[in-house]
Structure 1
């Protein structure tokens, strides 16, 4: 049995987090009272701009190996602490050597892309089963394009070719967003997002990045040395690699569900003077509530041969990746569903 520790999302400006014995105390000027959470039940704290943490709490979390992540109001990563560094240097050497081996790097890159394309295809086919007419035809056409992309990917002989296949498939998918959630804008916009659906996707991807980054560090991998995304200054390339196979079902599916059920409304987003769209305080609270519930949902895991909670999938995949790099597993298999 695996106990799922919890992540505390501290989003409200003016909130301060304090150490109170073996508990975390939450304080806010407008909410008097003593709100305590036992530290033993927390494995991660995510703090938004405007939330402060006392030094003694940060020091205690570092000593316990409890991670703290700071993000912007729109969920973009700012900084992270995780205590003293741990990990196996031999594993990191294997990670670097694999990056420097063009054939091995290409194999990993193709695997990450294949996982992403497969899961997007499953998302499209499931949506097609729930509708009829032109919308169903369009969804099936995009899914068929993804099937073709998977065939092309298997024959790719260079990283640039694999990236091109992934890019074309991604454009097909995002151009069909209005078929997955009627009435939403099509196309992917980011930095900044300029419509509610892209705002939600960016926010969700930010939360997924936090989870994947932590999972890689936990198993001793360097999040900044990737294969599909290579090495990019200040970018956690391996975290971005591993996110690819997880985005469709852990983020996109949740965002589309919230939109199709009408749970996200105009009051949950706001447009800034420059045209950027961000979640309101209520919007962040609503999304994180559903994000936390979705992390408890169990999914089948073919490699393990059993169902596991969504919250554990990044950690399990990071461990499988480490096993392959160490040479104790013949291959790395992305997490996919049928």
Structure 2
């Protein structure tokens, strides 16, 4: 990851930047399995897949990413930005490219950690998933309720925002970052400070 970040400091074309983002995502997801410390046999993770998700972890990730995407779209619209017009994600009809761009910095904290915690704390179980004939994996209604409740609870947790230097609930992070992005685009900030956390 450090090498990729260093390479991104050089000027490069947008497609090259997208390629580096893809490399970073692959490296990130390659180690995510190591964080599953309980139920690892029932929740194996061999990388990201979707449409449809082919395992329980990807089913959880896809669902929580969808929830986060809705929150980010609302936040962007709330500050007058069009979620469909992004920087890095390619624009396609119906695709919220800017929301997907902004989600990149929020996913590890708001979504990935939640999914890992749900598994490690045994709040979800292998029996709460359905394997379809197509091979796709979905959650049953009870598991979906558990995940929704945990997501709402997660949004109430407070963290110190690194740029604002004040405590905010995680549920406000999309609004904070959308507002910061709008200020940057209007020229009120010299650069966009992404959400960085430890």
Instruction: Please classify the TM superposition score into its range, dividing by the shorter chain length.
Output: over 0.9
Aligned residues: 193
Which residues in structure 2 correspond to 1:191-210 (within 5 Å)? 191-210=51-70
CA deviations 1:124-183 (Å, max 9, x no partner) are xxxxxxxxxxxxxxxxxxxxxx12211111124111111111111211222223212152
Q: Which has the higher contact order (CA 8 A, sep 6+)?
A: 2
2:167 counterpart of 1:307:
yes
Residue 286 of structure 1: aligned partner: 146
Distance in 2 separating the partners of 1:289 and 1:278: 17
| Contact 1:176 1:186 (8 Å CA) reproduced | no
Q: Which moved more, 1:226-235 or 1:177-186?
A: 177-186
Aligned match of 1:223: 83
Whole-Å Cα distance in 2 between the matches of residues 276 and 208 of structure 1?
A: 21
Q: Any stretches of 5+ residues in structure 2 without a counterpart? A: none
Aligned to 1:11: none
The CA distance in 2 between the partners of 1:285 and 1:291, in whole Å, is 10
Name 1:176's counterpart in structure 2: 31
Counterparts of 1:180 and 1:194, CA distance in 2: 19
Aligned to 1:162: 17
Question: Helix, strand or coil: the match of 1:176?
Answer: helix
Check the 8 A contact 1:267/1:283 in 2, yes or no: no
**How many Å separate the matches in 1 of 2:24 and 2:11?**
14
Q: Which of 266, 290, 295 in structure 1 is aligned with 2:126?
A: 266
Tell me the distance in 2 between the aligned counterparts of 1:194 and 1:156: 37
Partner of 1:328: 188
**SS of 2:17's equivalent?**
helix
Does the CA contact (< 8 Å) of 1:269 and 1:279 recur in 2?
A: yes
Tell me the distance in 2 between the aligned counterparts of 1:271 and 1:203: 15
Q: How far apart, CA to CA, are the structure 2 residues paired with 1:242 and 1:258?
A: 24
1:1-338 correspondence runs (5 A): 146-182=1-37, 183=40, 184-338=44-198
* Superposition RMSD in Å: 1.1
Structure of larger gyration radius:
1
Kindly state the Cα deviation for residue 302 of structure 1 after the two structures are TM-superposed: 1.7
Superposed CA offset, 1:73-120 (max 9, x none): xxxxxxxxxxxxxxxxxxxxxxxxxxxxxxxxxxxxxxxxxxxxxxxx
What TM-score do you get using the length of structure 1 for normalisation? 0.56
Which is strand-richer, 1 or 2?
1
For residues 197 and 31 of structure 2, the distance between their equivalents in structure 1, rounded to whole angstroms, comes to 21
- Secondary structure at the counterpart of residue 9 of structure 2: helix
Aligned partners of 2:157 and 2:196: how far apart in 1?
Answer: 15
